[in-house]
Every structure is written in C-alpha cells, then in structure tokens.
Amino acid sequence: MNSLVLAIVGVGMMIAGYLLYSRYLSKKVYRLDADFRTPAHELQDGVDYVPTNKFVLWGHHFTSVAGASPIVGPAVAVIWGWGPAFLWVTLGTVFFAGMHDLGALWASTRNRGQSIGTLAAKYIGRRGSRLFLVVIFLLLLMVNTVFAVVISGLLVSTPSAVIPTWGALVVAVLVGQAIYRLKWNLPIVSVVGVVALYSLILLGDRFPVALPEGFLGIGAEPFWILVLFLYAGIASMLPVWVLLQPRDYINGLQLFVGLTLLYGAVLIFRPEVVAPMLNQAVPEGTPGMMPLLFVTVACGAISGFHGIVSSGTSSKQLDKETDARFVGYFGAVGEGLLALGAIIATTAGFRTLADWEAVYSAFNEGGVEAFVAGGGSILNAGLGIPTSLSATILATMAVLFAATTMDTGVRLQRFVVQEIGQILGLRLGTLVATVIVLVVCLALAFGAGSGGTGGMVIWPLFGTTNQILAALTLAILAVMLTRKRRPVLPVLLPLLFVLFVSVFALLVQVGQYAAEGSWLLLVLDVIILVAAVWVIVESAIALTRARTEPPEVEGADEEPLEDSSVR
C-alpha cells in the first residue's frame, strides 16, 4: 500500500464530513442560530468571556484539544496494523469526534457557558453530576501531569526544540497585543506570526539548548517539569486574549504548515507503507485489539477531553452560535488530520518492515519518538529538509501542542476545583484554586521519588477514562435533543458504541491490574467504573423521562442553572 492512497482517501473523507455531515448536524440536529446571544456577549468580562474571531477561536480550540494524544495514540495503535487505526481515525473523525465537539460547544453555549460537569446536574441529576466531576478531575490530572513528562522528555531528547518552544510565548503575547490592542489586520498578523515562529525553529536548530544531566541538582527533565507547571499556572490565570488565544492560534497555523509539509512530502516522495495492514505477528504481551484499539486512539477519533475544552473555554469565547460548526467540527477535522499524519509517519517513515518491527518490538514502544523519526525521514526524502531540521520541526510541533493542551488543562482543572468548592460550600478564588491544582499535579508528578514522572503511573487509565467521559457527554446531548424532539440517532448510535467499548476496556483492565497486583490502578479503575455505571443508569433514567415529558419550549435551556459555573 502506498502512503499517498491513505493520505488522499483519509483527507477526502474528513473534508467531505465537514462539507456535508457537519452541515446536516448544524441545520437539522443542533439548529445553530446566528441571532442567538452567546455567553461571550451576555457575560463578557474581558478575562474568560471574550467574543472572538472564529479563526482565532478555532486555533485555540484545535490546539487545546490536539496536544500530544492524536500523535501518541495512533503511533501506538499501529502495532495492530495500519488498517484498524486508519478506519477508526477517519470514520471516528467524521461521525464521532466532529459531532461530539460541535454538540458539546452548542450545549454549553445554550446554557450560558456552563461546563459539561455542571450541565450534568440539569440534564442527568445532581448525584450523577458530582460523579461526573470526579471523572473529569481525574482525567485532567492525568493530562496535565503526563503532558508535562512528554514535553520535558522532548526538550531533553531534542534540545533544538527549546528555543522555539519558549520563544513562541513571546510571539504569542505580541500577536495578542497586535490583534486586540493595536487592531491590526488578522491575515498580516498571521503571516508575521508564522514567519517569526519558523524563524525560531531555524534558530533552535542552529543553537540547541541541552541542559546537563544533573542540572540544579534535580536533573534536566524534572527542571523542565517544574518550569512547565509554573508557566501553566500563570498562563491559566491571565485573560484569554493575552496569551491563550494568540498562542493557540499561531500554533494552529504552525501545525497546518507542518502538516502541509508532511503531506506535501508524501505527495512527492510517495513512500510505501512497510507496516502490515493487519499485524498477525504482534509482539508477546500485546493486548487484544478489541476493545483497546478504541481507547488507545481517543484523540483523533473521539475524546471526552474535547467536551471539557468545548464547554470550559471555547463556549465562553464564541462570537456567533453558527461559528460552532467551524470551531467545533472543523477543529476535530484538524485533529483527525494530525492523527492520520501520525499513522502515515509511523508506518511509511521506515525503510523496511524489519526497521519498523525493531521500533515496535513491544506494546507502547511507539509514540512521539516514532512519529518524529518516521515523519523526519519522510520530510527529508520528499522535500530535502535536513534530518536534524525535520526532527526539530516535528518535535516543536508536538511540544507546542502538548503545552497548549497543558495550560488549557490547568485552567479547566481550576474551574473543576472551584465547582467542587461550591458543592462543599466553599468559595475558592482564582489564585487559591490554581495553587490547589498545581500542588495536586506536582504531588502526583514527584510522588514517591519519581523525579517528575509519577503521572505515568496512572496514564494507562487515560484512554478508558477519556472515552467514558465522551460517552457521558453524548448522554447529555441525547437528553437535550430528546427534550427538544430533535433527531437523536446521530448522537445515540455513537453513544452506545463508545459506551460499550469503554466499559468493556475498563473490565479488561480490572482483570489485568488484579492479576498484576497493580493495586493503585485497580482501585482507580474500579472507582471510574462505578462512577461510570452510576452516571449511565442516571442517564438512562433521564433519557426515558425526557421521552415521556412534553417537548421542551425553545429557549428554555437558556435559563441560568441553579448553581452557575465559576467564571
């Protein structure tokens, strides 16, 4: 199989999904209304609620949901062969992820920017919503701690990425000032910003920054982890227009430039896919493809984390409700293109099957490093870009997306802590809630002398937790649509499938952790399973009740909830 075929078919399916299926969802299912007054206007505060150009907001949403997961998941899942990963990414993007992200954005916008966890109180019930918050908190804890490990590892293994990684912050602040303070033309700012970012990549390739092994007595990776959390904490408290929006927007453009280079190299070089379509000789110890494929590839097919971002930050910045189609659905398409690029890089970026098998000698051996190595090989062969520069481009791409997800994740986790505080009768300010988040994350990261990698201990639970959260978000959408007597099958069918594979995977992991004696993972897995089953039962009751109640009057969902979310 030639990689060009995969690229053409995959990209074609995703573009067709945006042009056709998202139009159907927008007009017939969610019925987006350009005249609806969004929370960004109704609750505008210049910090979290800020009406935003849809292209800038798309950049924030896309890069916040992308992170490293659409690279890591597919780059690991191809161990079962490229065929299953390719089908799940393409079909998942079109019929699952786009619908889920657009729906979560619509649901939150129709409820004054409320988070998915808070919406559960209205549409599922208060008991279910509190368990929902537990699942969300655990998921964000995993994302924040593990992405810090991924970023620090790349900064150490690819020192040429250090200058562009931190220089991008300066570029982002200047872009924010140019857009909001100076009111410069957006296309001009975009071009200047991308040129500045790629100039930093060239500079970083020329002057790599490698910290010594025992830097400051703690080592290079722990040092970067501490710096990353300090940055994420500060960034999460700043007004979104100062750093979050412009950083994500420029990173979004940078990704599309990077993907254009990668797909352009595939078009010119047309490398053969050396990995098997269906791998019949997986390494010993590799778990079964069913159901783990569908939780290993989460971001890039469907991801519960996207619902947190859609309802946590993006809904508070939506200028017009009709912009949700571009921001939500096309944001999912952008991530699908990244996941497809990861599949091509990790299956066609090696010269021979033996080379590929040497990397994929065990489950979880593939990942960001395989993407950087394979993608760099394709860029070098197709476009003549030097190997070191190719690695710098792809490593910087991975670092910047992981970092944007991390600083958005800390902001979202702060919202969750404040919501939990409200339930307990505590009013936590922004600074206090942020400090609590950082303390919890760092305690996990550096617990038991792990040197910053403690988050990796619970990372095996990420896939199942993430997909359970996606199913619960779809359950809220199903209840909302049923109340309104709207078409519900586009949500209900994906809900049943994701629910089945997620609970199946949780049960498989319970047996695995019990056999291995991994008691921490076993306890957390059981907690997540119990919470998920409880919320599922509550959701089924709510859905049955919604079918028997009179249809909801349009506009009823615009009323503020009893417990308004923290701004």
Tokens 């830097």 sit at which residue? 215
**Pair of tokens at residue 318:** 């939506």
Cα distance between residue 307 and residue 11, in whole Å: 24
Residue 565 lies in a domain: no
pLDDT at residue 461, as a whole number? 84
Residue 442 lies in a domain: yes
The domain tally of the chain equals: 1
**3-state secondary structure (DSSP) of residue 351:** coil
Residue 147 lies in a domain: yes
Task: Judge contact between 155 and 224, C-beta under 8 A.
Answer: yes
CB-based contacts of 138: which residues, under 8 Å, 6+ apart? 458, 461, 465, 524, 528
Q: What is the CATH number of the domain that holds 141?
A: 1.10.4160
Cα distance between residue 51 and residue 59, in whole Å: 14
**Pair of tokens at residue 161:** 């990425």
The single-letter DSSP state of residue 79 is G
Q: Block means of pLDDT (10 residues each) for the chain, length 567 residues?
A: 92 96 96 95 88 89 79 89 95 96 95 86 78 80 85 86 90 89 88 90 90 83 91 87 82 81 90 92 86 89 90 92 96 92 91 88 76 85 84 81 81 86 85 92 77 74 87 92 94 94 90 87 86 83 86 58 38
pLDDT at residue 555, as a whole number? 56
Q: What angle do CA 437, 302, 477 make, to 5 degrees?
A: 85
**Could you count the other beta carbons within 10 Å of the beta carbon of residue 297?**
30
Residue 108 lies in a domain: yes
Q: Determine if the peptide bond prior to 74 is cis (ω within 30°).
A: no
pLDDT at residue 383, as a whole number? 86
The single-letter DSSP state of residue 80 is G
pLDDT at residue 323, as a whole number? 96
Distances from the Cα of 422 to the Cαs of 138, 216, 372, 429, 563, in angstroms?
18, 40, 44, 11, 8
Residue 438 lies in a domain: yes
Q: What is the DSSP track for 436-474?
A: HHHHHHHHHHHGGG-TT-GGGGTGGGHHHHHHHHHHHHH
pLDDT at residue 371, as a whole number? 84
pLDDT at residue 65, as a whole number? 81
User: Which of 301, 257, 255 is CA-nearest to residue 59?
Assistant: 255
Range(s) of the domain holding residue 77:
3-558
Residue 567 lies in a domain: no
pLDDT at residue 554, as a whole number? 60
Residue 423 lies in a domain: yes
The number of CA neighbours under 13 Å toward the Cβ of 369 is: 14
Cα distance between residue 543 and residue 42, in whole Å: 30
CB-based contacts of 226: which residues, under 8 Å, 6+ apart? 218, 442, 452
- Residue 46, Ramachandran bin (φ over 0: left; ψ between -120 and 50: alpha; else beta): left
pTM of the predicted protein model: 0.84
Cα distance between residue 3 and residue 219, in whole Å: 40
Residue 566 lies in a domain: no
